[in-house]
Amino acid sequence: MKIRGFRVPRIDAEPTFVEKRLVSNQGDFDGEIATVLAVLSTWTYAEPEEFATSILRTGLPGSQCAVLTLANDAMLLDTCASIIQSLDKRVLILCLRGTPPRSPIAWTSNMAVDLMPFYAGSVHSGFYSSLIAMWPSIVKLLHYCLAGTDLCTAVELVKERDGVEECGSRSQASDRSAIRHDTTPSREEPVLYIAGHSLGGALAALAAAFLFTGDGTLTSHETLDGFDRYKTLLRGVYTFGAPMVGDPFFAEVHEKKFGSLLFRMVHQEDFVPRLPNRAMGNYKHFGIAYHATEAGWVRQPPARREVHVKAVVQQMTVSFLAVLSKVFPFVRWLSAIQILDFDEHLPVRYVRTSLRSRPFAELLLDYRTTSRSATIHRESRTRGEAPGASARPNAPEPEGPNAPGPEGPNAPEPDRTPPRYAQR
């Protein structure tokens, strides 16, 4: 396993709007937080350096991040996790990467749809193996962060205790012996968010299940306490286009434990949230589903949802391939052909819905220069209100095409003054 640490530069000493929003949230769904986590989940597919850059653009300057990657073709492992710690150590974010489009190993792991026993119920064996391979290292880093250690120092400590070096690497050994153990605790307990797209969303839900159900035995060789502390720190598990993780009993048990904190985003007719289907096993979703609309994410789906012919064909095709692969094991690879159209499942679709913006605006996203008016507009659309209603609840609704507001032709230009962060 490779673990790399990065420091994100800080320009302004004041906390950004995003940092304040993450800390103040009490476990409710938040459209702004969904946007930040959707962007971070999308950039987990990129190189670690690019992921670190995306942290700066999403409004978390001065943060530190650790990127864990593990690949073993023979064991069908190709997985990645990223941990982010804010500058004041009050925010922790765990992002799990989904299935890389060009990784046949990851796709093959997704084929392992057999259910295996969990603490409560049973879970997808391929998802379980992808997470459990990294879980001890993830837990160690989180424990160090909760103890007040900065994340970059925690990365070096984990490398020092569990890592290996080539013989004769004295320079590296001497560097590690000089590690500065920064254990300055934050003034308040940190808050924790977990997120991921596609497979990463399934791993995010499974990671939360570990925190709420596990007893710490997975790291029994460490003098670490259990996971009870994380239960009060978790503010939300945001998944984007995630498949089902476990059987109905698993879903029922964990619905009671943290179902109110699990927010499942589903983009229109995305096929992946319907997987694994009945032909593959008895799986069930839990948590709160949010569906994509022109106004952003809406909790209740439309009363009458249109049945798309494409979705029906996809469902029938996947069912046929799943049955065929079980009858003839030598063609099990056929079950990897699970999606005929990736368009609705692309992570960029989830980012655009969160931003409520035109195509390719996600490439220009920069929370350092986002205007307050645009933010109010996005928040109001998330709640289904008219733009500006939350800012002036008693004001009359403007009429006409020239009405003032973010969408009118007379809308003010956004604040483009770099490099200071907008004070929300």
Q: Are 173 and 114 in contact (CB under 8 A)?
A: no
Q: Structural domain of residue 6, as residue ranges?
A: 2-310+344-382
Residue 217 pLDDT: 46
Amino acid of residue 288: I
Quick check: helix, strand or coil at residue 124? Answer: strand
Residue reference for tokens 């229109």: 268
End-to-end CA distance of the chain: 40
Residue 63 pLDDT: 94
How far, in Å, CA of 91 to CA of 85, rounded?
6
* Residue 328 located in a structural domain: no
* Residue 220 located in a structural domain: yes
Q: What does each of the 424 residues of the chain score in pLDDT, given as a tens digit?
A: 899 999 998 877 677 888 999 999 989 999 999 999 999 999 999 999 999 999 988 889 999 999 999 988 888 788 999 999 999 999 999 999 988 876 666 666 666 668 899 988 999 988 999 999 999 999 999 999 999 999 999 999 998 887 666 665 544 444 544 445 555 555 578 999 999 999 999 999 999 999 988 644 444 333 334 577 888 999 999 999 999 999 999 999 999 999 999 999 999 888 889 888 777 789 999 999 999 988 889 996 544 444 454 555 555 555 555 555 555 555 554 554 444 456 788 888 899 888 875 555 555 556 554 433 344 334 444 444 433 333 333 444 444 444 444 444 444 444 443 333 333 3
* Residue 399 located in a structural domain: no
* Residue 326 located in a structural domain: no
- Using CA atoms of 128, 133, 135, 138 in order, give the dihedral in degrees to the nearest 10: -140
User: At 112, which CATH number?
Assistant: 3.40.50.1820
H or E element in which residue 290 lies:
strand 288-293
* Residue 168 located in a structural domain: yes
DSSP output for 232-284: HHEEEEEEES----B-HHHHHHHHHHHGGGEEEEE-TT-SGGG-S-TTT---B
Number of domains in the chain: 1
Nearest to 240 by CA among 194, 183, 283: 194
* Residue 116 located in a structural domain: yes
DSSP output for 318-345: HHHHHHHHHHSGGGGGGGG---S--GGG
pLDDT digits (tens, 9 = 90+) for 48-68: 999 999 998 888 999 999 999
* Residue 419 located in a structural domain: no
* Residue 320 located in a structural domain: no
